[in-house]
Structure 1
């Protein structure tokens, strides 16, 4: 027995195409609004981890389920004091201290200066280096405790980053102005996807595993 099926008119495809395109656009808009978003890097503040004109993919959903962790690279809406823009510009930095953390500069017992977090020196191999010289972890000694609901963030290119340390200095050591509210975090940058030759995952550096909770 042969099943006979009525052939669907080809013209129906063209009738359905606008609907399919509309659904695709809606899905793309929802994904961008709530799940993933791309950002480009406009400055050298995160070198050598991120280079100018790199494109990164940001997970906007992850912090709906947990707080940012030390060592993660995050995108956030900069406070007005940082950017001068009440609407908030998008900044990208690395989380160094989470709420309650005691962060000190610096440990000088080894060959290199190191930040101390909750009593544990932190090795930071990702800090910017050029011509065999690595930036210092900070250009000024400091001793701070991160307030609840806020984050201490720093760029990997310490000498070229407008970050928590710079704003701590400029504000007369005001810890509130120096830190960012957790609710201004847009998401976690988890991969470089462009240019293709630099594509890589942005994982948390291993030394952060040894940092104890406060």
Structure 2
């Protein structure tokens, strides 16, 4: 074998190694680009379209269970008006929630939680939000309870299939009330009526129990986890059929 043949084969081997190295680098570059684009798209979706929350309490049982994860449509109420019966997530109007201590996390878990929250797969601020069902819109006259234990909106009694009551109880609210919802606000209640600190029980709060529409993050439309709880969350339009608009609607 001549020196030229040895040199040619060595050069060919070096060329193959360089091509493989360049191929690996191109693959890693493309993989990084795909990851960054996916992260950006997920961030935009989470910021403007949908995001995830988990359920920290029993106030919406049986519709929602503790630790269920829900997906929230953030186009409502920004672009889509809120309807009676919608299940909405909203920021504390003030005085509804007891301040929660910040849980301690090691730096790795905290960083991972922060990263997942950017794409909507984690919801570290769930304890700073509430979830209830919209009963009254601006101008609605909401009263409870009539002789049959029903609540009425604008003098129309409601038959509410989503409500959970204690055994033997027929009144949909333990405490009576008679309110007119002010402009720009909502009257909200939990489906677990005897175990929900909702509009009825926050009359002494700064907003007198009403939730500013501007505090609404969005409408919950599906239970996403656990899989055996997966379900669409309806707003029961038949319940509010004929209610019409209130005095300020």
TM-score tier after normalising by the smaller chain length:
0.7 to 0.9
Residue 104 (1) aligns with residue 140 (2): no
TM-score of the pair, normalised by structure 1: 0.85
Aligned to 2:231: 200
Return the structure number with greater strand share: 1
C-alpha change, 1:68 and 1:186, in structure 2 (3 Å) is same
In the superposition, relative to structure 1, how do residues 194 and 176 fare at CA in structure 2: closer, same or farther (>3 Å)? same
Q: Does 1:62 align with 2:98?
A: no
Given that 1:147 and 1:176 are in contact with CA atoms closer than 8 Å, whether structure 2 keeps it comes out as no
Segment of structure 1 superposing worse, 196-205 or 148-157: 196-205
Aligned counterpart, 2:195: 160
Matched residue, 1:78: 92
Deviations 1:37-59 (A, max 9, x none): 11111110001111111111100
Give the aligned partner of residue 140 of structure 1. Answer: 175
Find the aligned partners of 1:194 and 1:102 in 2 and give their Cα distance.
36
Compute the displacement of 1:84 (Å).
4.7
- Structure 2 counterpart of 1:119, from 141, 146, 155: 155
- Indicate how the Cα distance of structure 1 residues 51 and 160 shifts in structure 2: closer, same or farther if over 3 A, else same: same
What residue is the counterpart of 1:5 in the other structure? Answer: none
Segment of structure 1 superposing worse, 71-80 or 61-70: 61-70
Whether contact under 8 Å (1:136, 1:158) holds in the other structure is no
Query: Which runs of 5 or more structure 1 residues have no equivalent in the other structure?
Result: 1-8
* Alpha-carbon distance in 2 for matches of 1:82, 1:129: 22
RMSD: 2.1
User: Are 2:131 and 1:92 aligned?
Assistant: yes
**Number of matched residues?**
198
- Contact 1:36–1:58 at 8 Å: present in 2 too? yes
Report Cα offsets for 1:8-45 as digits up to 9, x if no partner. x7432222211111111111111111111111111100
Give secondary structure in 2 for the equivalent of 1:14.
helix
Q: Which residue of 1 aligns with 2:244?
A: 212
Runs of 4+ in 1 over 4 A off after TM superposition: none
Task: Please give the alpha-carbon distance, in whole angstroms, between the structure 1 residues aligned to 2:197 and 2:225.
Answer: 24
2:208 aligned residue (177, 183, 207): 177
Give 1 or 2 for the bigger CA radius of gyration. 2
TM-score between both structures, scaled by the size of structure 2? 0.74
1:149 to 163, 173, 184: 184
